[in-house]
Amino acid sequence: MYWLAKQDEQAEINWIRRFSPRYWTVNFPRPMVASAVTSGTDVLVCNLVFYRKEDLCGLIWESEDRHDHPLLKYETRRDYSHTVLSFRWQSSGIAALDHLHGPTLTIEGRDPQGNPRTWYVRLANYATGTVEDAEIHLDFDNLVGGFTLPAEADPVWPGDIDRLFISLVPPDYDGSSIGALSQPVEAEVTVSDIRVEGSTSTLRTGDSYVLPHPLRICNGYDDSYHLTPERVIWNMIQLGYRDIINHYVGMSHYFTLAWSTQETRFVVDPSTAVNAAAVAWHRDFLKQAKLFGYEVILSLSYEILAEHMPSDWRQLAHDGSPALTGWEPPSCLIAPTNPEATAYLGNIFDQFAGLADEAGLDIRLQIGEPWWWVSLDEARVPHFYDPATMTLYETETGLPVPDKHQSAFEGGSPEQQHYLDWLGVKLGQSTLGLRDGIRANWPSAQVGLLFYLPQVLVDEAPMLQTVNYPVTSWQMPAFDYFQIEDYDFIIDGHWKKHHRSLDLVVGQLGYDMADLHYFAGFNLSAETPALWRNIDQAARDGFLRSFEEVFVWAWPQVVRDGFVYNEEQEQDMSGFHEVRFPDAIGFGAGGGPVFSTAVAEMASGYEQRNRDWAEARLTYDVGSGLRSEDDLAALIAFFRGRAGRAFGFRFRDWTDYKSCLPSEETGATDQVIAVGDGEETEFQLLKIYQSGEYSQTRNIAKPVAETVRIAIDSIELTEGWQLDETRGLVSFDEAPAENSTISAGFEFDVPVRFAEDSLSVTLETFRAGQVPSISLIEVRL
């Protein structure tokens, strides 16, 4: 259904100039913000907002591409010898070229002996023109660090460079003063007419192209603010994502800040909206999206970075602790009953709607994950008790706030239930208020809502459904489209919860499938690549359920892990024929498991071994199984029926086709495939290969249906379960009890395809005793 690509699998190659504008990035410490956008093939514009005297931004070029999809990365090339870079430099609002701490090119690398080194090249030493508008010429073979030349000359070694960045600081930066500026400083730097020459000035880059497919892509500004929008959009196009981008404007980088003397920290300024750097980035992002035929759903949630959220906006627990999420650093949740906070969200929506309209796009907005927060620890502490909420409850009802819940698992008195019911109504009213505010200013806007099921549909905590699932407020036609996500269920493989919760919400809210979107999973860590299998399965289920759109969250994880979605492979029956290769020919075939291991031999004789594949891949040569002209005719007919490599098929590996030893008969207790948890009803058939203390588990995707036997706690079941023989999934009518042992016995086939699209065999050579080589290769399902 998918694959995780590596850089060495780039199918198509192109070339770029080193220092191409698309590939520059920015980096900076909070609270300052900055962004970089391309404004032509040789123009890069950086917008900045400084809040502190010590703020410093780096405009960065990296020798190793850490931000593109593996199929699209540029090559790592650390030798800058014979490279000459020239450009026009224009700046305003930053320390100018002649400033003591003016723009400096910091070069991180190694000297000729391999020792780590850093050089500081003052751009003013290589500039002609004014301090804010100059031509700069950098010949890496003759580049010298140091402030005053030649007195402080520190020659740069260009042969081994990791990273270069140009430092950008506010005008009053002195290298020692700290604290808030009297007023935020907006700045802009334009690097134009970028010219690169020399024998090392070009870089090889991947140019692979995935055919367009129906899976849609999400993105988040918090994860891509440091990249150029052109780079983000280019990756999406090359990976086959089309039509719609769901873009979360984030919780940490879009807002404008002000220094609060009361709180002695920078907090969101409710009198302003989106900061200049975020405006510049999103203006360019939306323009690029329009250019390439995308619609963009702009998403905003009730979530703001905790260190910058005003204290009186926060949701609070019974003990006054704020509603902090699990991110690091954490975000905090706005109380839906706080009029100043929700008015601020409305202003942000209004400004982003204006940017979409300016780009010529239809205005499509999403109210993202609105909820009363409940902590993620075992206590599941609810945060219903901020002053604004409690005061409003007492004002509207004339009742005191009842005893405070300390856990979402607690029961409640009638008074507490009344409060919970009221909270649910207020959440619904808050979301509808945002919707109406948007439509008042933008009558043609389409407004949707994103609902996160696992945080709400918790059987042991019914209060969560009361406060966070206001069915009456959200039922059709409240929103133009309704979006659903259930990441935790997908990540943990709780397919029963996945199906049950989707059925519940779709049934209760009453939207047509044409107005429903589904978000298929999220892989937080690069250490868990196997989760993409679950995400792909969830996406497939979304299509089978006929959701109008199915999205994958999100672009940063897609490019990090090399995820590639392929529509042909996504549809089982179009890419696989449930027929078996002729047994008579297959019986004489040779082959078996193949691993991929990279072995590097050291001069000392020691080896470094890197295992590329977690599971073996099977290969076979069936040419040796041909014994007669009739066999050859059967092979040709079978090859034609599969259209060469186009369609997979079943193959019986006569050396390994049972759940037991070859000499034994299969039994229902041959292989332990799972341990019950009292909830899950669907399990994958498995075969475990044991060698001493080491073992390997193999998914069995193509069992022979009539041979499958199932047992729970060693008692064979003759009913109460079903088999999906196309995927090797066993489904029980009732979930096996917690800690019960589920086992299975079966015969199975291997899913394979022909390795080539041609058969190089003739009847004459076959009669002469020349055995053709005809390879089969296992298909990952």
Beta bridge partners of 698: 687
| Enclosing H/E stretch for 116 | strand 116-122
Measured in whole angstroms, the distance separating CA 627 from the mean position of its chain's CA atoms is: 52
Q: What is the pLDDT of residue 11?
A: 82
| pLDDT score of 605 | 59
Q: Please identify every stretch of the chain with a pLDDT value under 70, giving residue numbers as ranges.
A: 1, 568-574, 596-615, 760-771, 781
Confidence at residue 608, expressed as pLDDT on a 0 to 100 scale: 56
Residue 575: what pLDDT? 76
Tokens for 550? 């199915």
Q: How far is CA 624 from each of CA 627, 631, 756, 770, 771, rounded to the nearest angstrom?
A: 8, 11, 17, 10, 6
177 Ramachandran zone, left/alpha/beta (phi>0; psi -120 to 50): beta
**706 Cβ neighbours under 8 A, 6+ residues apart:** none
Is the dihedral angle over the CA atoms 250, 255, 261, 262 positive or is it negative? negative
Helices (H), 239-305: 276-291
Query: How many Cβ atoms sit within 10 Å of the Cβ of residue 289?
Result: 22
In angstroms, rounded to a whole number, what is the distance separating the alpha carbons of residues 352 and 291?
Answer: 18
Tokens of 104: 């400096």
Pairing mode, if any, of strands 364-368 and 446-452?
parallel
| Predicted pLDDT at 766 | 56
Please tell me the predicted confidence (pLDDT) of residue 347.
97
pLDDT of residue 775: 87
Burial letters 230-240, b for 16+ CB under 10 A, else e: bbbbbbbbbbb
Q: How far apart are CA 640 and CA 633, in angstroms?
A: 11
Place of tokens 């899976």: 215
Phi, psi angle pair for 498, to nearest 5°: -55, -55
Please count the other Cβ atoms lying within 10 Å of the Cβ belonging to residue 45. 20
Neighbour-count burial for 437-462, b at 16+ CB within 10 Å, e otherwise:
bbbeebeebbbbbbbbbbbbbbeebe
